[in-house]
Chain A
Amino acid sequence: MKKEFRFKIDVPKYIYPIGRGGEKFAEGLKKGELYAAYCEICDNYMMPPSAYCPRCFSEIKKYEKVTNAYLDLYTILWKDFEGKDLEEPIIYGFIRFEVDEEPVEGGLIHRLKVDDPSKMVLGVRVNPIFKPEEERRGTITDIEYFVIE
């Protein structure tokens, strides 16, 4: 007699449109640039950029290229999904941005490549390393990793 029933859930595939806000972000990535949304009413930059301001609900009309990136936090991954040791630990950084020395709300989480661990200090300036132009597809993985300046 069967005492349990096992079913494989056929996970469907998903297709997401990039949307109005994501479009600007994706265009930037293809060019090897990062854009923040600017709300003129709230005088606030936002990353990742959205199509609207969540505070005042106005439509975003301006997207500005970020001019500075820095390491706000980091963590180090030692195990994979199944709890096995990774061959090499992976460093994930929480990267914050500035536009002409103005702070940007939010930020991005991305891989960090570190040659000299003594340089891994909170607040240090970092730079994105993009894939070669012909390999970029307008996705977050167009950035290979960030490096400490």
Chain B
Amino acid sequence: MRMNIHLKNRVACVGAGMTLFRRRLYETSDELMWLAAKQALEDAGLTIKDIDCVVYGTAPDNFDGIHMQSEALADGGGALNKPYTRVYVGGGTGVFSAIAGWWHVASGLCRRVLVIAEEKMSHVQPHPQYVFHHIFDPVTEKPLGVNLIWIFALEMHRYMYKYNIKKEDIALVSVKNKRNALDHPAAQLGMKITVEDVLNSEVLVWPVQRLDISPISDGAVALVFTDEENAKQLTDEPIWIEGVGWNLDTMYWTNRDLAFPTYLYYAGKMAYKMAGIHNPRKEIDFAEVYDPFDYKELHHMEGLQLARKGEAPILTREGVTERDGDLPINPSGGLLGVGNPIAAAGLMKVAEVYWQLKGQAGKRQVKKDVVTGLAQAWGDLMQVGTVIIMRR
């Protein structure tokens, strides 16, 4: 342990499970939670009765149209008569729910925690963009009829302009992640596409095109965390959570450095310090970075210091971020390929780090031997970074 803070317990992940990610699933939200949780418990060799407390993550209640959604779905999380917490930091929720699960155990408050993230975006009609419209400032922005994608479009434009990045190089991320997802049994959008396909797909909000963007999805993911003593009873190969970090940038997107994700730079620094990592590019073996858009994978690699500013597209072009590359990025297929049920997508990334470190990723297993992996998400009003670092 090289942590810089006093912790009561070292925390391990001992089980993971997930449902299919699909555009519309027949199961209700709580049924999806139950399916993912059951899998994670079976993986850990535990039953719901062994769980002390439950942490739940989901995006805005408006997706489900049920206020106090976490309480309405508590049965599916097995939370009956248990301490139960919902955490919410927008798109960053998936990784943040894992962070919250970690502190429940690290503090000594609970011994075995079930962490569940679930999202059903399919309930809201005609499109979840109607919900996103209401994150904007009612005085200066809402009257203009904005939607969520335009922030990303402006950010993508800034990133391309500042580092002279071509759309062709950004499209390579989409090509890679959708191809990686072909090997993921739960994936929604695994496919073989070319750079030309991305460049020829319809323009949504310039420069964002259809194949630059992740889909609307339903799905749930669950993990089981426990303390060191219990982890060693359950398995010979616990996967340790060695660093966590989160950070918030200004609430005004106009005041952010759009070419560089400052929120993530600080969140990463916090996690690296805790995990005793001095040179992320050398010490992180692979990463699941948040990729709701293809340019965001590049943006986030740079924010995490896994590439120098403006260098991520070059590493991508050179094949460094492929599964058999020196620094595999999003071997799962990411949000672009596996799907984007918001909170569940973030926790899927943590689950992928767990499966890769366990050597249980099947056809998705990265070629090199991996010891340290990182998962990251991004959210709130596009200004929060959430990071978790795991080791075997």
A1 interface residue, CB < 8 Å from B? no
Closest to A46 in B: B75
Q: Mark B49-83, 1 if CB is under 8 A from A, else 0.
A: 10000000000001011000000000110101000
Question: Chain B contacts of A17 at CB under 8 A?
Answer: 24-28
A54 is contacted by which of B41, B80, B126, B131 (Cβ under 8 Å)? B80
For the complex, count residues of A whose C-beta is within 8 A of B.
22
Query: Is there contact, CB below 8 Å, between B65 and A9?
Result: no
Question: Chain A contacts of B65 at CB under 8 A?
Answer: 12, 14
Q: Which of B31-39, B179-187, B232-240 participates in binding chain A?
A: B31-39
Most chain A CB inside 10 Å of its own CB: which residue of B28, B78, B122, B133 = B28
Q: Mark A1-24, 1 if CB is under 8 A from B, else 0.
A: 000010101101111111111100
Q: In the bound complex, how far is the Cα of B125 from the Cα of A13, in angstroms?
A: 5
Q: Which residues of B, 205-263, contact A by the 8 Å Cβ criterion?
A: none
B193 interface residue, CB < 8 Å from A? no
Query: Is there contact, CB below 8 Å, between B31 and A52?
Result: yes
Q: In the bound complex, how far is the Cα of B26 from the Cα of A18, in angstroms?
A: 7
How many A-B pairs have beta carbons closer than 8 Å: the answer is 72
Question: Chain B contacts of A22 at CB under 8 A?
Answer: 28
Interface size class on chain B is 20 to 34
B194 interface residue, CB < 8 Å from A? no
A119 interface residue, CB < 8 Å from B? no
Query: Is there contact, CB below 8 Å, between A12 and B28?
Result: no
Distance between A25 CB and nearest chain B CB, rounded to angstroms: 12
Known A10-B133, A20-B28; 17 more pairs at CB < 8 Å: A5-B143, A9-B134, A12-B62, A12-B65, A12-B130, A15-B123, A19-B27, A19-B28, A20-B31, A21-B28, A22-B28, A51-B31, A52-B31, A52-B34, A54-B80, A55-B48, A57-B48
A-B contact pairs, 9 of them (CB 8 A): A5-B138, A10-B130, A12-B124, A15-B123, A19-B31, A21-B31, A50-B31, A56-B49, A57-B48
